[in-house]
Chain A
Amino acid sequence: MSDMATTTDTVLFVRTQRAERVAPPKGPRGPLGWARAHLFSSPFNGLLTVLIVAAIAWVVPPLLDFLVFHAVWSGDDGREACLATAQNPDPGACWAFVRTWINFFVYGPYPMEERWRVNVFFALLAVGLVWMMWLDAPRRDLGAAYFFLALPAASVVLLHGLPMIGLETIDTALWGGVLVTLVVATVGIVVSLPVGVLLALGRRSEMPVVKLFSVIFIEFVRGVPLITVLFMASVMLPLFVPPAWSPDKLMRALVGIAIFSSAYMAEVVRAGLQSIPKGQYEAAAALGLGYWRTLALVILPQALKVTIPNIVNNAIALFKDTTLVFFVGIFDFLRTIEVARNDPAWATPVTSFTGYAFAAMCYFVACHFMSRYASGVERRLGAADRR
């Protein structure tokens, strides 16, 4: 025992006096530390950071100059306002042009005195969208009925007119702008969901005829570009049917878009259906549920939940694809800008750029909103899986 005590006394590896205090290393904390960890963690990463910052510095200031600082905001006298002057030798975007034409961008050539009908349609559509998209909204079953049944019927009466109740008929050749873009996108989305689900079920069906039809439909439509479907619908269709039966131009494009988006939606939904394990079907069968109740109560709620991000993704793609109706002579939002930028009264070197910049901003805002919404829903529905 005494030996051990002696060892402790003689071997001096334990420090006897206090070490002097030093400041913590500059490393991981503070703005500098953050920069080192995230921006300059290696020479290559540092180079990337510098290049990207340089690119931003190169692009953003002239862009802001064009869009904001040198832009012309007002002026009703046409092109004179947006030409180079002594005060503004290098004029930027001609927002005065957009202000003059904004009504045309929204309504197209829709008759002036009937435009309130379009406004009512926008309001009804907004109500429907909020009802469907806000997950905690009351009576969402009623909302679905409103969105998928009442709204389309009301829109047709409102926009196209019903002389019986005193609403003058407005030919679809006079529809245009944001109105047409929204109508085309909404019809595409509203039709494609139910039809897409049916096609997806058909493709997985055990009835050969239904299965064959679904497979051929989906594969054929997915095998051709949208523009081809639109050309077929708008150019070939009227040659085959007698003129009296020939649907109007917008209707043809709507049918084309609906067919196209349904085929894509079917594949999205099918992916969701395939992610449901077989045990779910067996459990439903064990409970004595038939085919339709199995689907409605067990399979579809789970499958659709998984596919929501993809459905919204499809919706974004479709929203942008609506610009293709431009090629069959329909005045969608982009085409109204295309028309306006040719107006000799506003023809300046910057008019075209202004028009396109405005279009880009509008499409970006709409698509960005949709994608934020999708990621919000995804987070919320995924909460169960992350526990």
Chain B
Amino acid sequence: MKWVSVALAVAGAALVGLSSASAATLDTVKARGVLNCGANGQLPGFGMPDAQGVWTGFDVEMCRALAAAIFDDPDKVKFIPLTAKDRFTALQSGDVDVLIRNTTWTLSRDTQLGLNATMINYYDGQGFIVRKSLKLNSALELNDAAVCVQQGTTSELNLSDYFRTNKMRLKSVTFATLDEALKAYDTGRCDAYTTDASQLYSVRLKLAKPEDHVVLPEVISKEPFAAFVRHGDDQWFDIVKWVQFAMVNAEEFGIGQSNVDEMVSSANPEIKRLLGSEGNYGEQLGLTKDWVVRIVKKVGNYGEVFDRTIGQNSALKIARGQNALWTKGGLMYAPPVR
């Protein structure tokens, strides 16, 4: 199935390339009065509707932040659930203005598919979950372990690479579906279970006794998630990029939902520029002066969104890890507003 979706997406890129005399995305969005955001429909923590039909998740909040910056109203977003197969064509054809759907940034997606990745908003990668009773501290101690993994996934490939590189013996036990693999792990057929870290935490809750299991600190692969836009509209590319940068900067300067109003009158020149009390940086993007105030007040800064949707204040309780600010040992780093 994979080549089908790739072929379709490449064909789509070619067709869109022929007719790329399209209007500026920002103007289209403003005229429409609502942002069309391509989302995942069923990934807990990142994008799915809750029992009341309200969309929730990390990617979803990123879309809301964009809407807040453009319309000063985080609810002016239409979420369009996309599958892994149709997500790129939906973006190419203009069905969605932006694709924020736990999508890994790779070179071919940047070039072949005619898309632009804006900023890495979540550093994902493959991790391991093991029983606490094994008293393991590192994935490097997994020598000779039986590891449950889903068949035919990149996880399976990464797993054997990792074990080979570290000269460990692997007994991988593969299953066709995630649920089967998980069940096997839960019933004790394997010592460890592996998949992308973003999923490990939600998967953990499906175990009979989640508190008996622990996620190991190692991340053995690179799956950087980014928001994507189409080639050919640099203004829109800048807006999507800088809305996310602004959220990271806001966290770095300690600007949150509760204190953003006081921070507007801060004397710190960096904060002044970010919040628009000095300069016209928002207007340069095609937005308003107070664009960051709108985002932080209506949606929150990066850390707040993270905690609320996937972090400590959510059911998933994903550790910040690589997604902590660069000042706190993570990789989250945004260029300055000036």
Contact = CB atoms under 8 A, between A and B. Distances in A.
A104 B51 contact: yes
A352 B44 contact: no
Interface stretch (B103-111, B117-125, B205-213, B259-267): B205-213
Contact of B316 (A101, A335, A344, A351): A344
A309 interface: no
Given A108-B53, A339-B41, A173 B79 contact: yes
A329 B51 contact: no
A328 B83 contact: yes
Contacts of A234: 86
A342 interface: yes
Contacts of A103: 51-53
A235 interface: yes
Interface stretch (B91-99, B126-134, B323-331): B91-99
Question: Per DSSP, are chain A's interface residues mostly helix, strand or loop, or mixed?
Answer: helix
A348 B12 CA distance: 41
Contacts of B179: 352
Contacts of B94: 238, 243, 246
Contacts of B154: none
A176 B86 CA distance: 18
Give the interface size bracket for B toward A: 35 or more
B78 interface: yes
Contacts, number: 116
Contact of B78 (A108, A171, A239, A331): A171
Contacts of B42: 335, 338-339, 342
B85 interface: yes
Interface in B48-90: 48-55, 78-83, 85-86, 89-90
A290 B4 CA distance: 51
Contacts of B41: 329, 331, 335, 339
B79 A344 contact: no
B81 A345 contact: no
Given A104-B50, A347-B315, 18 more contacts: A79-B205, A109-B49, A174-B53, A231-B4, A235-B12, A235-B86, A243-B93, A329-B80, A329-B81, A329-B83, A329-B86, A331-B81, A335-B41, A339-B41, A339-B49, A343-B48, A344-B202, A347-B202
Interface of B: 4, 8, 11-12, 15-16, 19, 22, 41-45, 48-55, 78-83, 85-86, 89-90, 92-95, 179, 183, 186, 202, 205-208, 314-316
Interface of A: 79, 83-84, 100-101, 103-104, 107-112, 171, 173-174, 176, 231, 234-236, 238-240, 242-243, 246, 249, 327-329, 331, 335, 338-340, 342-345, 347-349, 351-352
